[in-house]
Structures are given as structure tokens and as C-alpha cells.
Chains A and B, each alone.
Chain A
């Protein structure tokens, strides 16, 4: 069964006096929606960073479908297997909604026309009508921007969706 599994994960920042993460072990199974809760500074972002492959844990291991992340090319892992959604959307302001969604696919080597066709489908599937595809993020409402961001996260075909 596909899953994201953390095993005794520890993380300490280079400048840190103590561990930001200590002995974190948990499993996120396919189809599950999980929430990580805790006060500010408790290490939520650090945990997400490690799961997103933006950082390697200083101790322990992260496995996706049984594959150890420490043995994977993390840039590729982020391009193909995880996607992130941010509270502040983080769309590129100088790209249209359509281009924002097409970008991850183009980064994965898809041709521009293909990527744009797929981006169109994705945008329509999250309820962004065709008239909004050529708009820049600044000309979309907050909710529309969030949906564009979700479409972008789905674009890479990633199995793991991380929302910060």
C-alpha cells in the first residue's frame, strides 16, 4: 500500500542549540487526510520541509512507497512525487493562471502545448472558467488564486499533497 512513512526523524538546524524535530515516527497512508497541529515554533514547517524533500533529516529516515528519500534525487522527488500548497498561494505574479499551472509540467519535460492543454483541464476541474485562464494572479480573487494553486499542485501528478 502506498504510503509516506517517517522513522525516528530528527532535525537540528546548523545554527540551532536543540533539535527542531526529535524522534518523529508516523505513517500517512494513501487516501488519508492528516493534519499536523502544534504551537508556533514546534517544528511543523521543519517536518513539512523534510517530507517535501526540501531538506534532509539529520537523523532517521523518510520513506515514500518504501523508497528511502535519502537515496533519491530530492529535486526530482519534489518535481514528480510531492506537491505543495501554500497559505499565501505563491503563484508567479508575472505568469497567467494557465502558465502557472503549466509550469510544473514543463519543468518535468512536457511540451508547452501539451502542458497547457492539461493545465486547462485542471483549471476547469477546480472551477476556474476559461475566461480566467489568461488572467494574472493579481486579477483573481483570493479563492480563485487558491484554486489555481491547487491546480498547480495537481499538475505534476504527485501522490503526496502537502499544504502549509
Chain B
């Protein structure tokens, strides 16, 4: 008679569970007494519904946040590289090849970014470790996206930085 266990309620299955329980209680021989199932879940709904909404929102926001971080990485790398235009011009005037100048700047950005990511991930691991959790793949994914963004931004910005005519950048403007 009680062989079927009471179904557990998982996320998003509230309505189903309610129907199932009602059906269970409504069976002709569900009990010797006239059993009626009263399902009072208003409070549960009040708690769960906004949480579910939030979860759905997070599912959309999370990839957007990763994409945004990659975009910011690319923009920042490009901006910082554009600021090194004068250094690029000096190197060019000293006889460095355009390719070498580009490679040096991209390498610099990547090295700095890697150091920053390592520090950030270490701090995150420490914080999570205190809470008894380990570093998730998601944080690594995010770090990877940031690194990829940096690489792209630096590589794209390095092309015009090495191409600008050096002398006009190195002159004193009167």
C-alpha cells in the first residue's frame, strides 16, 4: 500500500509532483480511512519561484559575463598597447623589425595577463578552499576567455602600433 515512495520534488517539477501526490492520495484504497491529501505549497512556491527565476537569469548572464570579460580583456590590451606606440617607435628607429616589435608587445601583454590570472586564481582557490570547495572549471574557463581576449586585442593593436611612422611620434610638437 505504501510501496510507492513519496516522490521527491525537484526544481521545476512542482506542478508535476503536486499532481502525482494528489493522484496517490486519491486512490480508492489509499488507506483504510478516507484519506485526503492537502498540498499546501504557497510558501514553498514563494521561495522557489524567485530562486528559479534567478537561476534562469544566471544561466543567461553567465555566458554573457564570460563574453564580456573577454571583450574587456581585448579592449584593455589594445588600449595599453596603443599607449606604448612611442616605445614601438623608438625600437623601430633603433632598427627593430616590425615583426619583432609586435611580438615583443604581444608577449609583454600575455606575460602580464598570465601573472594577473595566476594571482587571481590563487586568491579564488584560497577563498573557496576555506569554504571547503575547490576551483571550478568555470573559473578556469573564464580565465581562459580573458587570456584569449588579451591575445586577440594585443595582436590586433600591435599591427598599427608597429606601422605608424616612427619619426612623427618621436618629435617634439611645437
- Does residue B15 face the partner (Cβ distance < 8 Å to A)? no
A104 to B94, CA, bound (A): 7
**Across the interface, do A52 and B97 meet the contact criterion of CB distance under 8 Å?**
no
**Across the interface, do A48 and B167 meet the contact criterion of CB distance under 8 Å?**
yes
- List of B residues within 8 angstroms of A156 by Cβ: 94-95
A67 to B1, CA, bound (A): 105
**Across the interface, do B95 and A86 meet the contact criterion of CB distance under 8 Å?**
no
- Does residue B144 face the partner (Cβ distance < 8 Å to A)? no
Identify which of B59-67, B85-93, B113-121, B151-159 touches chain A.
Answer: B85-93
* A86-B171 contact in complex given A54-B165, A76-B95, A79-B95, C-beta closer than 8 Å: yes
A84 to B165, CA, bound (A): 15
- List of A residues within 8 angstroms of B97 by Cβ: 75
**Across the interface, do A90 and B95 meet the contact criterion of CB distance under 8 Å?**
no
A73 to B70, CA, bound (A): 39
**Interface extent on B, as a size class?**
10 to 19
- Does residue A12 face the partner (Cβ distance < 8 Å to B)? no
Chain A residue at minimum C-beta to C-beta distance from B92: A54
**Across the interface, do B90 and A52 meet the contact criterion of CB distance under 8 Å?**
no
**Across the interface, do B95 and A92 meet the contact criterion of CB distance under 8 Å?**
no
User: Shortest Cβ distance from B97 into chain A, in angstroms?
Assistant: 5
- List of A residues within 8 angstroms of B165 by Cβ: 49, 54-55
- List of A residues within 8 angstroms of B93 by Cβ: 52, 54, 78, 84, 90
- Does residue A40 face the partner (Cβ distance < 8 Å to B)? yes
- List of B residues within 8 angstroms of A76 by Cβ: 95
- List of B residues within 8 angstroms of A40 by Cβ: 174
- List of B residues within 8 angstroms of A79 by Cβ: 94-96
**Across the interface, do A92 and B167 meet the contact criterion of CB distance under 8 Å?**
no
**Across the interface, do B90 and A90 meet the contact criterion of CB distance under 8 Å?**
yes
- List of A residues within 8 angstroms of B87 by Cβ: 92
Tell me which residues from 70 to 99 in chain B have a Cβ below 8 Å from any Cβ of chain A. 86-87, 89-90, 92-97
A54 to B92, CA, bound (A): 8
A84 to B166, CA, bound (A): 11
**Across the interface, do B171 and A78 meet the contact criterion of CB distance under 8 Å?**
no
Chain B residue at minimum C-beta to C-beta distance from A81: B95
A92 to B89, CA, bound (A): 11
- Does residue A45 face the partner (Cβ distance < 8 Å to B)? yes
- Does residue B168 face the partner (Cβ distance < 8 Å to A)? yes
Q: Mark B residues whose CB is within 8 Å of A.
A: 86-87, 89-90, 92-97, 165-168, 170-172, 174
Q: Mark A residues whose CB is within 8 Å of B.
A: 40, 45, 48-49, 52, 54-55, 75-80, 84, 86-88, 90, 92, 103-104, 107, 156, 164
4 further A-B pairs in the complex, CB-CB below 8 A; given A75-B95, A103-B94: A45-B168, A75-B96, A90-B93, A92-B87
What are 24 A-B interface contacts by the 8 Å CB criterion? A45-B167, A49-B165, A54-B166, A75-B97, A76-B95, A77-B95, A78-B92, A78-B93, A78-B94, A80-B95, A84-B93, A86-B170, A86-B171, A86-B172, A87-B171, A90-B89, A92-B87, A92-B90, A104-B94, A107-B94, A107-B95, A107-B96, A164-B167, A164-B171
